[in-house]
Structures are given as C-alpha cells and as structure tokens.
Structure 1
Amino acid sequence: MMLWHGESHSTISWSVKCLCFSSAAGRLVFEDFLRTEYSEENILFWLACEDYRKTTSQTEVMTAAKRIYAEFVQVDAPRQINIDCVTREEISQNLTQPWPNCFDRAQRLIYGLMGNDCYPRFLKSEIYQALLEQAEQLRKEREAKSSADASPND
C-alpha cells in the first residue's frame, strides 16, 4: 500500500500509540491488516459505534442500534465481536430504548482488544514495516530536495 502525500510523519507516530484511529489513512491500513487476520469486525464495529454516537434522530438511533446489534453483537452475528456475555446482554436489553452511548462498554472492550492484541502485531507486520520504509524513503527524498534547493546556484 502506498503512502498518501504528507502521511510519512503520521505513519511513524502510529507506533507511539494507537494513533492510526485518528487518521483516515491509518484506519484503512489497520483495517487491511485486520482483514488478513480475519478480525476486521473489530475496527468495523468501532467505526460503526463512532457513527452511531453522532446520530441525532431517534428513528435513526433505533435503526442504527438494531443494525449494529444484528451485525456485530448478537450471538452468531455475521461479524460477531468478542465481548463478554454480560455486555452482550446489557446491549440486548438497551435495544428497546437505545441511547447514544449504549455501545460504549463494548466499544471500549474492542478498542482495548485491538490496542493490546492486534495493534502490537500490526506494528510488527510486513504491511506496517513496508509503510515505515516508504516513510523513510520520502523523508530522505525531501531532505535531498531541501538540500538541493538550499544550495547556491552556480
């Protein structure tokens, strides 16, 4: 995967902590990595929860909550996330009157799972290592261009 222009600094900072979530490019690369591990449901759930929290219409909240539950939370869901039965049951009970943060506990659990389990493997992956190499190459090219631009013309 190629870096987007201006992403080299961000790419390197992803290794400091789970900053890829604040970068669209980072989320895409991390999602690609999770797909290779057959665990992309984690980031897809996390993103669905982020969108859900921004929903304002009560009708849309109800629809979105049911969709998230059916896709990620219920037992045998197509993209079932790995959460404890207490959290799963709590969400199930909240579906009758969903509120903006009814998925927060599950979202925190999944974020922790990604941060403590998937993300360290991502930082050691070939995908991430290739991005680091691209970022380093871009940095060297920029330094060379800056040096050439700063040199007096003969």
Structure 2
Amino acid sequence: MLAPVDDVVAWGESLDHLLECKTGQLVFENFLRTEYSEENLLFWLASEDYKKITSESEMKAVAKRIYAEFVEVDAPRQINIDCVTRGEISKNLSQPGPNCFDRAQRLIYGLMENDCYPRFLKSDIYQALLEQQ
C-alpha cells in the first residue's frame, strides 16, 4: 500500500497528522494489531464518529454500542481506562451527550501518543513506507 510521500513523512511529525489521514489510520491500525492494541485506535475513531451524530436516538444507540464494545469491564475490545472514567461513562449512558466519551478519548489519545505512536515510528511497517519514498 503506497501512500503519498508527504503523508508518510507528515505521519512522523505528530499523531494528529497520522490520524487525519485515512491511509495513516489503516497503517497505524495494522501496526497496533501486531501489538494486540488496536482497540485504542478503534475506540478513538468510534468516539470521533460519535461526536458527529445529531440524532438523540442514534446517539443513545451508538453510545451503548461503544460502551459494550470498548468500555465495560470484559468488553471484547476493552480499553485501558480508570474506573472513575468508566463509571462516568456508565452514568452518562441514559442521557449520552456529544461529549460522553471525551475524557476516555483524551486518556486513550495520551496512551497512543506516548506509548504506541513512538513505537510505530520505529516499526518496520513505518520504516518500510519511508524507504519506498
């Protein structure tokens, strides 16, 4: 999968640049899958999509789905967040607003930025893409 040189280089500048690019998201997800931690990115992306929802009933349904997949204890793709944040989301589920997952999303972003992203930049996957340029 070839990405434009500008994109691949920009991915190395910041996690934001990487996440702004669809191809970057896919490459990063592939890398995270090798580390068994793709749930972080998938949760972050689901939260971004969730914020764009305007219908209250759809917001409720999607919030419950995100909670079941990523947040609740023993969820299939449980993210690593503290129990206070998990409890806060649980409380918000009855009336979820657009910011329902913001705190958890910030925590996961920080985790990716400080942990997964630096490893991604050193990974064979990213280095190989850089060399193809």
Instruction: Give TM class, smaller chain.
Output: over 0.9
For residues 59-87 of structure 1, give each alpha carbon's deviation from its aligned partner in whole angstroms, at most 9, with x where no partner exists: 10000000000000000000000000000
For residues 83-131 of structure 1, give each alpha carbon's deviation from its aligned partner in whole angstroms, at most 9, with x where no partner exists: 0000000000000110011100000100110000000000000000000
Runs (4+) of structure 1 exceeding 4 A deviation are none
% identity of equivalent residues: 70
Match of 1:62 in 2: 60
Q: In the TM superposition, what are the counterparts of 1:2-151 in structure 2 within 5 Å?
A: 2-4=1-3, 7-18=4-15, 19-135=17-133
Over the aligned positions, Cα root-mean-square deviation in angstroms equals 0.6
Matches of 1:94 and 1:13, distance apart in 2: 37
Which consecutive residues of structure 1, in runs of 5 or more, have no partner in the other structure?
136-154
- Work out the number of aligned pairs and report it: 132
> Deviation at 1:53?
0.3
Matches of 1:23 and 1:100, distance apart in 2: 23
> Deviation at 1:15?
1.0
Q: Which has the larger radius of gyration?
A: 1
TM-score, normalised by the number of residues in structure 2: 0.97
Matches of 1:25 and 1:79, distance apart in 2: 22
